Amino acid sequence: MEFEESGIGEECGVFGCVAAGEWPTQLEVAQVLSLGLVALQHRGQESAGIVTSNGACLPIYTSHKGMGLVSSAFPPEALLKLRYGNLGICHTRYSTTGISELQNCQPFVVDTLHGRIAVAHNGELVNSCALRKKKTREWDKAEQRLGTCSV
């Protein structure tokens, strides 16, 4: 069966990077993530976001999100503020649900029962209503609208 026949299509792009070794690493994780976004930009040109973390037991997250193409969403000063992380994820969005605004830009940093995490997903969570009934904690309304709280 072809992907188009099953309703599966290209939506969004997700990319991650982990620098190995002692901190501070020589690898510019934020730069690698921004290059990953450029490579995935054909999958979504509406908005883009990057979250980096120091990867500690009590991690510190730094994020930047912007509307439009990666080149306009990430000016040089935005990448500078993300440079202290040794791991991160990024996302470029093609909306299939929710409206086109910055609050719907991923990745999201959320509090869970197990601590803070950064999360991004590709496409729609088609069973988000059923999963939402099982969740044990209320999350931000933006994540609820997009179904991310169910992850």
Per the annotation, the verdict on 129 as an active-site residue is no
| pTM of structure | 0.75
Q: Which two tokens stand for residue 13?
A: 């792009």
The pLDDT, as a whole number, for residue 29 is: 92
Cα(114)–Cα(101) distance, integer angstroms: 29
pLDDT-derived band at 78, boundaries 50, 70, 90: very high
The pLDDT, as a whole number, for residue 77 is: 92
pLDDT, the chain, mean? 80
Question: Of all helices (H) and strands (E), which one includes residue 108?
Answer: strand 108-112
pLDDT tens for each residue of 97-149: 777 888 888 899 998 888 899 998 876 777 777 777 666 444 545 455 555 55
Cα(149)–Cα(80) distance, integer angstroms: 29
Question: Of all helices (H) and strands (E), which one includes residue 92?
Answer: strand 87-93
The pLDDT, as a whole number, for residue 140 is: 47
Of the candidates 66, 81, 140, the one whose C-alpha atom is nearest the C-alpha of residue 108 is 140
From 12, 17, 105, 149, active-site residue: 12
In this structure, CATH architecture of domain 9-122: 4-Layer Sandwich (3.60)
